[in-house]
Amino acid sequence: MRRFKDRLLSRLQDATQKPTQPDCAPPTAYWQPTFSPSTEVSQHFKHQLGDHGWGNNELQNYVASPANSFHRDGKLVLRAIANSSAPRDKYTSARLTSHQTLARQRGYLTATITAPCAGGIWPALWLLPSEPFKWPEDGEVDIFESWNGDCMNHSCLHWGNYDGQDWDKHRACETRMPHMGRAEGCTFALAWDQPENGQGGKMVWYIDARPVMKATIPQGTRRISDWQVIINVAMGGNVTQGQIPRDGSYEFVIHAISLHEEPSGGWMKFEQDWRSAKEGHTM
């Protein structure tokens, strides 16, 4: 009995001596748009417009109509609409670019979303350098993207030219998510740490607080603080292997999105995640 009590006391002492776990919530946001019906979408985002295929033979016309982007119940909604019987604009959607840049050499972007999952539909939450920029030389980061309702997220980093010598200038990781369309949303995040000179650095991608991919920021990409957030729903095109969406509406719901000066758990946790996350593969 005495040995049992000694072991129990030892375990209790060990428990009290263990370091406390860091708070899972990130620190105060330096950008956190409010999605009130009294606030115009354009207060926080620029509507990018056009029906020129966007380099991928996409079908949609991106418009600034309140039918395609609006606030509802404290959330931002991007709605893609397919109407094959319409005399024109059979496919309309929204593409939004944040006025806010990442604005820090290291930081943390987090967004909770509910994505549409259907054939011919391609929702995405991603980053590009602020205009003007050269694509893909200046870089692209995809935090969330999925297509054709396959419930697969594609975390990606692209940069450089796409000639025979630069075929490997991609990093990607696929994560199966059968719950992708759940009403309460899934949380996607990106943490980045880049030296003040804007050369090199590290990125870690997260899904529901789990690190799913890491990548070194390539030399030659634009300084990360210059990048902006893009949210859009594309329809059809090369990526969807030619699938065309059925008539109807498809909503991409952004429950919340924010930028923070450090990730959940702080930079020590980021370094732990960097060591444990897997490298993205080439494409």
Give the per-residue pLDDT at 22: 39
Question: Using 50, 70 and 90 to split pLDDT, how confident is the model at 213?
Answer: very high
Is 24 part of a structural domain of the chain? no
Is 16 part of a structural domain of the chain? no
Is 11 part of a structural domain of the chain? no
Is 155 part of a structural domain of the chain? yes
**Residue 80: what are its φ and ψ, rounded to 5°?**
-95, 135
**Residue 113: what are its φ and ψ, rounded to 5°?**
-135, 155
Task: Summarize the confidence of residues 13-30 as an average pLDDT.
Answer: 53
- Output the pTM of the full model: 0.89
Task: Summarize the confidence of residues 76-93 as an average pLDDT.
Answer: 96
Residue 49 and residue 192: Cα distance in Å, rounded? Answer: 29
Region of poorest pLDDT, from 31-45, 79-93, 149-163, 189-203: 149-163
Task: Give me the domain span that covers residue 121.
Answer: 29-276
Is 18 part of a structural domain of the chain? no
Q: Who wins on pLDDT, 168 or 61?
A: 61
Residue 241 and residue 142: Cα distance in Å, rounded? Answer: 19
Give the per-residue pLDDT at 141: 97
Is 247 part of a structural domain of the chain? yes
What residues contact residue 197 under an 8 Å CB cut-off, 6+ apart? Answer: none
Structural domain count of the chain: 1
CATH number at residue 112: 2.60.120.200
Residue 191 and residue 270: Cα distance in Å, rounded? Answer: 8
Q: Who wins on pLDDT, 21 or 98?
A: 98
Is 193 part of a structural domain of the chain? yes
Instruction: Give 233-268 pLDDT, tens digit per residue.
Output: 999 999 999 899 999 999 999 999 999 999 999 999
Let me know: does 125 contact 110? Beta carbons within 8 Å.
no
Which two structure tokens, joined as six digits, stand for 198? 């804007």
Is 252 part of a structural domain of the chain? yes
